[in-house]
Amino acid sequence: MPNLPNPIRLLLALAAIAGTVLAVSGCGTTTADPEHGRVLFREKCGVCHTLAQAGTTAQVGPNLDDAFAAARSAGEGGSTVEGIVKAQVEFPRPSNSDPAVSMPADVVTGQDLEDVAAYVGEWAGVPGAAPPKVPGGPGAQVFANNGCGTCHTLAAAQAGGTTGPDLDKVLPGQSAAMVEESILDPNAKIAKGYPANVMPSNFSTIIAPKEIEQLVEYLIASTSKGGAKQGKGG
């Protein structure tokens, strides 16, 4: 092997392992969805890893932008990064109860792993990467950053998700406290026709309190002017 810097040699070695794993597992039989991967990354991986395009800054595990910057600068493309991610997730180092050096097994699997790996492969280590900007103010940005439109319909955000309730229908008249509870403790009151545990319950750990406040204000203002007035009163 050429005399490459150690980080690049390590990444290329992992890529070779990943290629073997993917060949055995039948890679290429599914179509990855990087947008869905971004949502999953923020929920499942962003509590430990920094990734600029995801807007995550956790420092429990490696900074993925730093980890893959050398590979990017050496000309390695997203497919190499994607393969490494799959291999690392499917075959993490043995658990020693220290998340700084040992990633839990099966953080994501199946199609979810395909989506997360495709997303990280597209953005990790890309110079200048940042969350996509959207109109509508800071609350709209929080809504977009956290992939809320993937599951919910909200006309103001041009979102048409159907996994969760239609926010234009269920939020009018709700107070700020009620909307905040539905975000931070989604199983406290479950919307009719939807099962429990559909919405992630860890938003309090991945969204800053100020951003939660901005999101709540945006949702109330976007779904009902009367509700916005009520929400300001608590």
Instruction: Dump pLDDT digits (tens) for 121-135.
Output: 999 999 999 998 999
Residue ranges, CATH 1.10.760.10, the chain: 6-123, 138-232
Homologous superfamily (CATH) for 138-232: Cytochrome c-like domain (1.10.760.10)
For residue 176, give Cα distances in angstroms to 48, 126, 136, 137, 189.
29, 38, 18, 18, 15
How confident is residue 112, by pLDDT bands cut at 50, 70 and 90? very high
Q: What is the pLDDT of residues 164-211, one digit of tens each?
A: 999 999 999 999 999 999 999 999 999 889 999 889 888 998 899 999
Q: Where are the alpha helices (DSSP H) in 135-208?
A: 138-145, 148-151, 167-170, 176-184, 203-206
Model confidence band, residue 118 (pLDDT cutoffs 50, 70, 90): very high
pLDDT for 75 equals: 87
User: Closest by alpha carbon to 58, among 187, 206, 169?
Assistant: 206
Question: CA–CA separation, 67 vs 118, rounded Å?
Answer: 16
- Residue scoring higher pLDDT (78 or 154): 154
pLDDT tens string 32-42 = 999 999 989 98
**The CATH homologous superfamily of the domain defined by 6-123:** Cytochrome c-like domain (1.10.760.10)
| pLDDT value at residue 100 | 57
Contact, 65 vs 54, CB < 8 A?
no
Task: Find out whether 150 and 36 touch, Cβ atoms under 8 Å.
Answer: yes
Q: What is the tens place of the pLDDT at every residue in 6-64?
A: 444 445 444 444 444 443 344 445 699 999 999 899 888 988 899 999 988 888 889 99
Q: What is the pLDDT of residue 231?
A: 36
**pLDDT at residue 234 above 50?**
no
In this predicted structure, the answer to whether residue 228 has a pLDDT above a threshold of 50 is: no
Mean per-residue pLDDT, 59-75: 91
Output the pTM of the full model. 0.66
